[in-house]
């Protein structure tokens, strides 16, 4: 039996900015049977999206398909002239993008975009397409299916857009669907709903396709088969159950291990009664002009108190927009709170960084999520690390040089990187430099704002291990902000759950199995597990879902 999709010896090359040619897919074979979903798993740069797009005979700017064949339903997409490719795209093979928010044209109503495929290929009358679109909206459990198409993309939420993108892909009843990380940009509680919707339409329409993701737990819910990619080559492939339970390749095992980090209790953790290092008293922070009652137009953090004991780590979790990063910025003095106060080491800190002494500034450091934007691209690693040494410690040149070497050793970067600029470092290396810069100040407290979110799972796990190790050596405390619950669970002693600017519960990792607040229950139960039956067995109280999700 011949399969629906046959990829043979696919090779894709890319030309870098410096004009060098590099191979991003090096001779890959792949088969997809009718009605089968194959997942492509790998970290960023593994070539998974490039490979998925080759199904449409498409390569992004700077990339070229240089060899091999991609036969979809008997037609080699690589050999097809551009005009014939266009005739297949959207009609026979459709694409669900990673960020639907970016893939929808902001200037066109949603319905017009959803049925555009029909308009282009003329597969059915437009009226029929509209009716079908509404039926798809309903099947994808979108709210108000009859009217949602009349809106513009910015008027609906991210989770809704992602489902609308699926409807847009399904409108012409394609044979093959490409899902490109379609839930990566979503919050976990939203992800559950979107995954459910995808799963039901996939089985209802008996769709074959590729599901690209870096998240094994998500893929486990949808895919029949998993292919593990790295550096443009297949490392391992097998049925979902085989990969999850009997992984052979060391890289696959590494990926699996990174999903479920070990939760060894931190032995040296002092008790919760230990002396407080940081106390946040009823802090409220907001944006925008002050109203007559002294409150800003938008209150992002509302009356939050928390306490970090010496040598203990506090995690702050919550979905996007819950105010966790704003709280971090208030503690660091970047964004002054409009009420409440911050006490550090027994002394009340000034509201904004300008009102704090240099020594107070030195003791509380913040590390930002995007090392790309936090590091000055024009400075070398040496300049970046040398600056806080001069600023806080007034170190002379010779001493500074020795200290920079020490710092690089601490974050496990080779000293040879000293003269490199951020653009010449990998994502993980950049985040380590970003962290080393905070360490250079000899702080007592480091606020980590989503520092692992932009990293691949394996790299993120290594960064977390590094953080733990440094804590043992340097007597540090962390405030660790993340939307990734497993990361927080791995490193924190106390966890604060935030929702819409409020602190709703404080728990410990041991309590995570049985939280009390309904939102925490919902949040924790929404984190995908490696078990392929997890989604089918997941029961969430619809009342709770309605109350807490802005889907």
Partner 1 sequence: MKHRIVSLVLSRLALALVTAIIVSFAVFFATAMLPGDTATILLGQAATPEAVEGLRKAMHLDDPAIFRFLRWLAGVVHGDLGVSYANNMPVAKLIGGRLINTLKLAGLTAVIAVPLALTLGITAAMLRNTLYDRCLTIAIIGVVSVPEFMIATLAVLLFAVYLNWLPAVSFTSEIRTVHDFARAYAMPVVTLTIVISAQMIRMSRAAVVETLNTPYVEMALLKGASRGRIVLRHALPNALGPIVNAVALSLSYLLGGVIIVETIFNYPGVAKLMVDAVSTRDLPLIQSCAIIFCFGFLLLTTTADVIAILSNPRLR
Binding residues vs partner 1 (CB under 8 A): 56, 58, 60-61, 85-91, 94-95, 97, 99, 102-108, 116-117, 120-121, 152, 154, 168
Half-sphere exposure of 483 (CA within 13 A, CB side): 19
Give me the numbers of helices (H) and strands (E) for the chain, helices first please: 22, 20
Least spacing, CB of residue 402 vs partner 1, in Å: 46
Joined together, the tokens standing for residue 81 give 């002239």
CB nearer to partner 1: pick between 154 and 397: 154
CB nearer to partner 1: pick between 185 and 332: 185
CB nearer to partner 1: pick between 66 and 101: 101
Q: How far is CA 471 from CA 47, 269, 507, in A?
A: 36, 10, 21
Q: How far is CA 383 from CA 363, 377, 418, in A?
A: 21, 11, 9
Least spacing, CB of residue 118 vs partner 1, in Å: 10
Tokens 């934007």 correspond to what residue?
Answer: 373
Question: b/e map of 488-502 (b: 16 or more CB within 10 Å)?
Answer: bbbbbbbbbbbbbbb
CB nearer to partner 1: pick between 19 and 542: 19
Least spacing, CB of residue 180 vs partner 1, in Å: 10
Please say whether the beta carbons of 197 and 229 come within 8 A: no
Question: What's the DSSP call for residue 275?
Answer: P
CA–CA gap between residue 391 and residue 441 (Å, rounded): 9
Q: How far is CA 131 from CA 63, 103, 136, in A?
A: 39, 23, 9
Least spacing, CB of residue 93 vs partner 1, in Å: 9
Least spacing, CB of residue 345 vs partner 1, in Å: 46
Least spacing, CB of residue 115 vs partner 1, in Å: 10
CB nearer to partner 1: pick between 107 and 378: 107
End-to-end Cα, the chain, rounded Å: 42
Burial of residue 468 (CB within 10 Å: 0-12, 13-18, 19+) is middle
Least spacing, CB of residue 87 vs partner 1, in Å: 6
Least spacing, CB of residue 105 vs partner 1, in Å: 4
Least spacing, CB of residue 116 vs partner 1, in Å: 6
Joined together, the tokens standing for residue 53 give 């797009």
Q: Of the candidates 145, 127, 138, 142, which has an alpha carbon nearest to the alpha carbon of residue 204?
A: 138
Least spacing, CB of residue 78 vs partner 1, in Å: 16
CB nearer to partner 1: pick between 91 and 507: 91
CB nearer to partner 1: pick between 102 and 274: 102
CB nearer to partner 1: pick between 102 and 260: 102
CB nearer to partner 1: pick between 104 and 198: 104
Backbone angles phi and psi of 345, in degrees to 5: 55, 35
Distant-in-sequence, close-in-space partners of 64: CB < 8 Å, separation ≥ 6: 12, 13, 14, 15
Least spacing, CB of residue 59 vs partner 1, in Å: 11
Least spacing, CB of residue 53 vs partner 1, in Å: 8
Least spacing, CB of residue 85 vs partner 1, in Å: 8
CB nearer to partner 1: pick between 106 and 358: 106
CB nearer to partner 1: pick between 85 and 502: 85
User: In sequence order, what DSSP letters do the residues of 429-487 get, joined into one string?
Assistant: HHHHHHHHHHHTT--SEEEEESTTTTS-HHHHHHHHHHHHHHHHHHT-EEEEEES-HHH
Q: Where are the beta strands (DSSP E) in 345-405?
A: 347-348, 364-367
The partner residues of 72 in beta bridges, in order of sequence, read 5, 75
Q: Of the candidates 180, 223, 195, 204, which has an alpha carbon nearest to the alpha carbon of residue 54?
A: 180
Give the number of other Cβ atoms within 10 Å of residue 53's Cβ. Answer: 20
The partner residues of 208 in beta bridges, in order of sequence, read 176
User: In sequence order, what DSSP letters do the residues of 141-170 get, joined into one string?
Assistant: T-SSTTTGGGS-GGGS-HHHHHHHHHHHHH
CB nearer to partner 1: pick between 91 and 524: 91
Q: Of the candidates 78, 70, 67, 74, which has an alpha carbon nearest to the alpha carbon of residue 2?
A: 74
Least spacing, CB of residue 284 vs partner 1, in Å: 27
The partner residues of 228 in beta bridges, in order of sequence, read 41, 236
CB nearer to partner 1: pick between 128 and 409: 128
Q: Of the candidates 215, 108, 226, 82, which has an alpha carbon nearest to the alpha carbon of residue 164?
A: 108
CB nearer to partner 1: pick between 23 and 116: 116
């Amino acid at each position: 039996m011949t399969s629906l999709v046959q990829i043979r010896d696919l090779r894709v090359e890319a030309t870098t900015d410096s004009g060098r040619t590099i191979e991003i897919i090096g001779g890959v074979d792949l088969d997809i049977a009718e009605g089968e979903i194959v997942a492509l798993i790998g970290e960023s740069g593994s070539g998974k999206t490039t490979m998925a797009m080759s199904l449409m005979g498409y390569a992004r700017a700077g990339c070229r398909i240089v060899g091999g064949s991609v036969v979809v339903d008997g037609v080699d997409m690589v050999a097809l002239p551009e005009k014939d490719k266009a005739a297949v795209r959207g009609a026979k093979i459709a694409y669900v993008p990673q960020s639907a928010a970016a893939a929808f044209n902001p200037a066109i109503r949603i319905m017009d975009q959803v049925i555009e495929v029909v308009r282009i290929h003329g597969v059915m009358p437009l009226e029929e397409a509209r009716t079908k679109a509404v039926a798809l909206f309903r099947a994808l459990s979108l709210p108000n299916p009859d009217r949602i198409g009349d809106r513009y993309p910015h008027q609906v939420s991210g989770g809704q857009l992602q489902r609308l993108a699926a409807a847009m892909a399904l409108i012409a009843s394609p044979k093959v669907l490409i899902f490109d990380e379609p839930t990566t940009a979503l919050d976990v509680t939203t992800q559950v709903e979107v995954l459910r919707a995808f799963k039901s339409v996939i089985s209802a329409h008996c769709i074959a396709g590729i599901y690209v993701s870096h998240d094994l737990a998500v893929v486990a819910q949808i895919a029949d088969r998993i292919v593990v990619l790295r550096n443009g080559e297949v490392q391992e492939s097998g049925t979902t159950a085989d990969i999850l339970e009997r992984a052979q390749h060391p890289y696959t095992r590494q990926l699996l291990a990174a999903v479920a980090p070990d939760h060894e209790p931190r032995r040296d953790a002092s008790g919760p009664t230990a002396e407080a290092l940081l106390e946040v008293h009823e802090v409220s922070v907001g944006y925008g002009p002050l109203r007559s009652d002294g409150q800003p137009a938008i209150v992002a953090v509302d009356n939050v108190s928390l306490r970090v004991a010496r040598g203990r780590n506090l995690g702050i979790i919550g979905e996007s927009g819950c105010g966790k990063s704003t709280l971090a910025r208030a503690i660091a003095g970047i964004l002054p709170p409009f009420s409440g106060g911050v006490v550090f080491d027994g002394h009340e800190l000034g509201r904004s960084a300008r009102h704090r002494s240099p020594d107070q500034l030195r003791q509380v450091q913040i590390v930002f999520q995007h090392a790309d934007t936090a590091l000055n691209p024009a400075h070398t690693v040496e300049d970046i690390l040398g600056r806080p040494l001069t600023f806080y410690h007034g170190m002379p040149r010779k001493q500074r040089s020795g200290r920079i070497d020490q710092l690089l050793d601490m974050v496990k970067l080779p000293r040879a990187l000293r003269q490199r600029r951020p653009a010449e470092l990998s994502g993980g290396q950049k985040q380590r430099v970003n962290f080393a810069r905070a360490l250079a100040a000899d702080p007592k407290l480091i606020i980590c704002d989503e520092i692992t979110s932009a990293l691949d799972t394996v790299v993120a796990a290594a960064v977390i291990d590094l953080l733990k190790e440094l804590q043992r050596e340097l007597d540090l405390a962390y405030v660790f902000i993340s939307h990734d619950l497993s990361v927080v669970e791995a490193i924190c002693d106390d966890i604060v759950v935030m929702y819409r600017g409020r602190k709703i519960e404080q728990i410990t990792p041991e309590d995570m199995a049985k939280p009390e607040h309904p939102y925490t229950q919902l949040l924790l139960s929404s984190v995908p597990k490696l078990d392929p039956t997890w989604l089918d067995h997941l029961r969430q109280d619809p009342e709770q879902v309605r109350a807490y999700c802005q889907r």
